[in-house]
Amino acid sequence: MKLCTIFIIVWFTFGFSLTMFAQKVERVEPLCWWTGMRTELQLMLYGQNLKDAGVKVLQPGMTVKTVHNAESPNYLFVDMAVEKAGNYTIEITQGHKKTKVNYEIHNRRPGSESRVGLTLADVIYLIMPDRFANGDTSNDIVKGSTQILDRNGLESRHGGDIQGIIDHLDYMADLGVTALWSTPLLEDNQFYHQYAISDYYRIDPHFGTNELYCEMVAEAHRKGLKIVQDIVPNHCGSGHWWMKDLPFTDWVNHFDTFTQSNYALQAYSDTHASKVDRMLCGHGWFVESLPDMNLSNPYTLKYLTQMAVWWIEYANLDALRVDTYFYMGYEGAQWTKSIRNEYPNMEFVGEVWGNDPGIISYWLGDRPKHDGFASHLPKAMDFPLERSLVMGLSNDNEAWGGSTKAIYNTIAQDFLYEDAMNSLVVFADNHDIDRIYNMLGKDIRKVKMAMSFIITTRGLPQIYYGTELLFADDPRGGAHKCRMDFPGGWEGDTINLFKPEYRNAQQQEMFDHVRKLLHFRKSTPVVYNGKLMHYVPKNNIYTYFRYNDSECVMVLLNGASQSQTIGWNQFEERLQGMKAGYEILSGQQITKGEKIEIESNSSLVIYFKTTK
């Protein structure tokens, strides 16, 4: 597809001088649009003194419906009717001053609206692009940027970029993941992590260009990888260009003095909560550098909706990961519903950071909850299960909430969800918490157990980059300690963990464990679409099955500090008709009824098929 371009052409009539009547439109967003969209196009024009200007399109095929002034005189919001693809000239007139803006409408990709997004067959690989790989050193230093390049700094830029991602797509495909989630790649003129967006329509030049991003998506698709874009509709950065001249005073949420969110996620689902607590949760700023977008302003909501749709359509994305989803408040449901209206089959995931399944379930699905609210969010990160997984594998003291009983207890609350199997993304660690290797005492046995569980339990797995190689937190600590460089991603690195010859024995052992599980999952659909049955742990062994009418996968997690022998009788309900199988991690043949031993802090994954 031809890339979107905008050319601003200023013209003059009646002999007026440049200095007296020059008029400039600095920005037109969205940058382009498509035919056949359910989302109606509303252009945001930004330039000097646009208030009350006339707007028309000079060619047939796109027409102006309504022009809206903003509170700032430097904005116009223009509703457009789109009939056919083409290059159009938009004329903005104020008195004798006329400005022409070229705008492109493209034909939509066939089947674009039917894209499916994330399914249970997928496994997501999460990376932080600045810390993953540097494939283009020419963008390490960007002219005009105040951000320094320092690989030794925990909070500075390290130089990873989109080309670095492209260069290592084969590594991900070989590992066996099927979807790539990169933390944001849009322009952030304040931080390396990119969660303080300063331009919603521009890839950060430290990473590359919009065009290179599209190339990355296309190349990933060729290698069988979906692309999940991390999107941030809840807040922008304080360095965003519009913060010096907001379209409306309530474009972002304002208070008399700086007011931070109370982070009280439960205030929305709590039947006894006060209105002020709900308001502070959703309208307070996340931190001082992240102004909170006000989605109750219809123009803000429309802008953020179009922005998400634009990136999906422009880059041919497969899904979104929505940052700090619940901080959008009740208004976020309309944003979500609008995205799903455009892409009815596209499944995407929201970050709802709560440690109680009841809270997570409140923010999921189309079913109205006790107060009539429905968020329409298709999937959410399963933070409660992550906490239970760490607690359950860290120690075997059930009396203190440990042992694999903690995992069982969380899964047992799946009745709170509309559809736990299809709506939850399961994970052991991510970019905001400690590395699982550290949380489990740097015990490779326990990390392998965690990965066996994540890849075979209900839901859609997400793996944080480097977990497959036992990445550990930076000993200097702090919020950035889990975001280390991937050794070998930079020219001159003495160790290249993308290649097996540089890995130590434990790193290769961990890699092989994860890779074997992922490829087994990919080739054995019952692992991800089979029903789930689990058993109350005995002696700290948690056992569960993924099954259908003809086959099953039996998973055992021994969280105890000693080896144990497995008894078969208790599982006959699930193993009836099954006789022989094999343990996929070791390749050992298993016959039902024969003595089988599971080592301490280890897992078994056994595949059975019905005997005909």
Residues annotated as catalytic are 323, 351
Nearest residue to 601 (alpha-carbon basis) of 385, 402, 395: 395
**Could you tell me whether strands 226-231 and 179-182 are parallel, antiparallel, or unpaired per DSSP bridges?**
parallel
Query: Exposure string (b/e) for 67-89, b if CB count within 10 Å is 16 or more?
Result: beebebebbbbbbbebeebbebe
Nearest residue to 310 (alpha-carbon basis) of 518, 41, 585: 41
- The dihedrals phi and psi of 375, each to the nearest 5 degrees, come to -80, -25
How far apart CA 430 and CA 64 sit, in angstroms, is: 46
Please give the structure tokens belonging to residue 258: 């700086």
Residue whose pair of structure tokens reads 């991900």 in the numeric block: 172
Q: Residue 9's beta-bridge partner residues?
A: 100
Nearest residue to 304 (alpha-carbon basis) of 108, 66, 44, 27: 44
Please give the structure tokens belonging to residue 154: 């925990």
Please give the structure tokens belonging to residue 497: 């963990």
Q: E strands, 16-53, where?
A: 25-29, 33-34, 41-47
- The dihedrals phi and psi of 49, each to the nearest 5 degrees, come to 55, 65
How far apart CA 530 and CA 189 sit, in angstroms, is: 46
DSSP 115: -
